[in-house]
Structure 1
Amino acid sequence: MAIDPERQSDPTRFGTEAFYASIGRAFVAMCAFVPVLFLIEYFDRLSGHRLDQEGGIRPHHVDGLDGIVFAPFLHVSFDHVLANSIPLILLGTFVLAAGAGRFWLTTVFIAIVAGVGVWFTGAGNSVVVGASGVIFGYLGVILMRGVVERSWWHIAVGLLIGLLYGWQLTGVLPGDPEISWQGHLFGFVGGLVAAILFRRRRPRNSRPVNSDDTLSLGPDLS
């Protein structure tokens, strides 16, 4: 039984060397990004949390709209950054592994949807910061990508991370006043939509498989 070289070189196909290589590169990239968040929080503390006040989302205030861009990079404390770091690395790795172009489009879309949702529905006297909305968006991307791209491993990864870090990924409904459930909810919805908008396009016409064609070693789980 021969191995199709084209399939083995597909980084989106589960189980191939290219797939594991793309996961590894994405993991390193996400690990390298997290220290940037800690560095930003360090400068925020030096400024007396002025960065949070000026760069956070201020719902219903026009001068708080720029927070849609800056808020995902800001946090209220080092503990806040730490709590977001592990799910951000894990979820971000699997989103980034599907391709840098799709990753950036997806991330920007999620940040905008989450930020606009917070601006319209958040409490007017609050300032919202944190990467939680993007994290929930990545969770939505992975789960929905499993459906629209028929990728069972995406669904499995999303459910596993949700179970492992469910205590950190709570708050999509009103509850703790210190948690922006709006950002979580709209981020998750943005991720679901992004998975559909930026899904992997498959060829419309598939070549029929004959008995003489090269066979793959497993089911198509990409």
Structure 2
Amino acid sequence: MKQKQHFEYSTGVIAYPILFVLIIWLVFWFEVRFGFNFSKYGVLPQTFSGLKGVILSPFIHGDIQHLYHNTIPLFVLSMALFYFYKPIAWKVMLWGVLLSGFLTWCIGRSSYHIGASGLIYVLVSFTFFKGVFAKHYRLIALSLLVVFLYGSMIWYTLPIEEGISWEGHLSGLITGLVFALIFKRQIAKPKKYVWEQENYNEDDDPFLKHFDEDGNFIEQIEPEMEAEQFPKIKYEFKEDKKE
């Protein structure tokens, strides 16, 4: 049963991120293959018709370079989300799309905002701040890894480059921080190993009993069994003589 649950857990960690990436690539392929342009389905701020982009914009990309730059971060960050925060992963993903998209609709320029970068900023922000708030070394290590890989993305929350939706990036950053605060007490810490537990006693560890104080392996010798417990069997070898 445990092996089955572990298999299902591991499958979800990999399968869902692959599914997300596959969908955005299929949408782009459909545009190129049949000559469509879905940019009009992006977020168009302060317009009623532009609200549909809150849901649709993460699946739409302007060109292959835009799609490529979003693919790897989306895959890596969503996989980390489903691995470390599986019980709330879907909430973060779905509400992250909706809230970051709506915030973009509220503060954005009068232009179509498309791409999954808003969701990526949600994941970056949530993963970083959630690890800091949890105060657990493994989650903090994940936060530091996110900073190392994607820390430079913070500059794109400012209007430093024309043609980039800094409003969508900023909305994702704010949304991720809010989620980290909302879910602060959920998924507190990963399960601890045996030696990390407070009531851990080395003398009771069955694994360490195989080693001496210097770390040398102790070969276990089974106690000798008394000969009386077994019947005596006499083996004789008789050479066949040729007549």
Shorter-chain TM band: 0.7 to 0.9
Q: Which residue in 1 is equivalent to 2:27?
A: 40
Residue from 21, 43, 63 that aligns with 1:57: 43
Deviation (angstroms), 1:161: 3.4
Aligned ranges 1:108-119 → 2 under 5 Å = 108-119=94-105
Give the aligned residue type for 2:179. Answer: A
1:160 corresponds to = 145
Q: Secondary structure at the match of 2:158?
A: coil
Say whether residues 1:179 and 2:164 are aligned partners: yes
Question: Take 1:178 and 1:211, find their aligned partners in 2: how far apart are those partners?
Answer: 57
How far apart in 2 are the matches of 1:159 and 1:210?
Answer: 30
Contact 1:23 1:93 in 2 (8 A): no
Identity of aligned residues (%): 28
- Structure (1 or 2) with the larger CA radius of gyration: 2
Distance in 2 separating the partners of 1:202 and 1:85 = 29
How does 1:68-217 map onto structure 2 within 5 Å?
A: 68-124=54-110, 126-166=111-151, 170-199=155-184, 200=186
**Using the alignment, how far apart are the partners of 2:147 and 2:11 within structure 1?**
21
Deviation at 1:152, TM superposition (A): 2.9
Aligned residues: 193
| Higher relative contact order (CA closer than 8 Å, sequence separation 6+) | 1
Alpha carbons 2:124, 2:150 under 8 Å: kept: no
Contact 1:38 1:78 in 2 (8 A): no
Whether the 8 Å contact between 1:27 and 1:90 is mirrored in structure 2 is: no
Q: Return the TM-score normalized by structure 2.
A: 0.68
Q: How far apart are residue 75 of structure 1 and its match?
A: 0.8
Judged with a 3 Å threshold, the aligned counterparts in structure 2 of structure 1 residues 105 and 52 are, in CA distance, closer, same or farther, namely same
State the alpha-carbon separation in 2 of the partners of residues 191 and 99 from structure 1: 14
Displacement of 1:22: 5.0
Structure 1: which 5+ residue stretches go unaligned? 1-8, 10-17, 216-222
